[in-house]
Amino acid sequence: MTGVYKLEIQESQDELKELLRNPKTASDKERVQLLYLLKSKQAKTLQQAAAILGRHRVTIQTWARAYRQGGLTQLLSHKPHPGGQSTLPNWAAARLKQRLEQPEGFESYEAIRQWLATELGIEAPYKTVHKWVYYRLKASPKGVRPYSDQQAAAQLETDQKTLQRT
């Protein structure tokens, strides 16, 4: 009969419920949910379980095969997919952070991008520079600009100190 699975689930419903309460990752939770749905007979076939979990049938079959081969440990021991290599090495980020801490700063993210190219020999896209400076280094490229010619020098100094993040 098509769609009928042959999967002997060793764990009890209570054990699966406990595993669902404290999963290590969201993916682990989905995998345990698959077992729980099949064990509690909420899903009679892998295709029904796939529809309930919002996953493709082939993905569910892959999980079931992993469980069949090595049990719960095999099911939950999937390789995480690391992101790509950063285009900005750590040593360059450290130099950039030092440069951003100087009071004059940069005029723009494009100026930072050009500084990286000329001083460090690193060609980085604008988006990467923005992500590194704003989100990772928690810095701003711009120095404080006076509002008018009459702005007091003391106020300008105060603003510069406020803008510098440590």
pLDDT digit string, tens, across residues 23-63: 888 889 999 999 999 999 899 889 999 999 999 999 999 99
Q: What's the domain count of the chain? A: 2
Which of 50, 76, 102 is a domain's end point?
Answer: 76
**Alpha-carbon Rg for the chain in angstroms:** 27
Residue 1 maps to a domain? no
Percent of the chain topping pLDDT 90: 30
Verify that 70 and 102 share a domain, yes or no.
no
Verify that 68 and 21 share a domain, yes or no.
yes
Quote the pTM value: 0.49
pLDDT tens digits along 3-25: 556 788 888 889 888 888 988 88
Confirm if 119 and 153 have CB atoms less than 8 A apart. no
- Choose among 142, 135, 129: nearest CA to 92: 129
Residue 2 maps to a domain? no
- Dihedral angle, C-alpha 67, 69, 71, 77, nearest 10 °: -80
